[in-house]
Amino acid sequence: QVQLVESGGGLVQAGGSLRLSCAASGRTFSSYAMGWFRQAPGKEREFVVTISRGGSSTGYADSVKGRFTISRDNAKNTVYLQMSSLKPEDTAVYYCAAGRTFGLKYAGTYNYWGQGTQVTVSS
């Protein structure tokens, strides 16, 4: 069992930056690939980025490539999402998720989810 808690969301102007964190409980954090997803009002949850167990491999959605950076610190059981050059269309609830397989972009393939953190980008 893995429990995930996101933090770091908030209100930011377009062009600004935010850093999201996702803290995981348990001693098996390093055995999970991690992902960030987001869901805007009235839209389906969409893949943002994923990172492998050791952090050496990542995969990004085209919409955030070059602007967002995922990283993880297995010693701290935490995964981060650094978001820069934010756009109003990045406004959503952001969720972190843990899964057994790296590289998957479908929400249904992840086993554990956090409660989400709101990111609002004003124009």
Instruction: Fill in the amino acid letter for 115.
Output: Q
In the structure encoding, which two tokens stand for residue 60, read together? 């990004």
Instruction: Fill in the amino acid letter for 46.
Output: E
Give the alpha-carbon dihedral of 98, 99, 100, 104, to 10 degrees.
-140
pLDDT for 102 equals 85
Cα 41 from Cα 18, distance rounded (Å):
20
pLDDT for 97 equals 97
pLDDT of 69 > 90? The answer is yes
**CB-based contact 24:77 (threshold 8 Å):** yes
Cα 80 from Cα 108, distance rounded (Å):
21
What pLDDT digit, counting tens, does each position of 27-64 carry? 799 999 999 999 999 999 999 999 999 999 999 999 99
pLDDT for 85 equals 98
**CB-based contact 94:48 (threshold 8 Å):** yes
pLDDT for 40 equals 97
What pLDDT digit, counting tens, does each position of 71-84 carry? 999 999 999 999 99
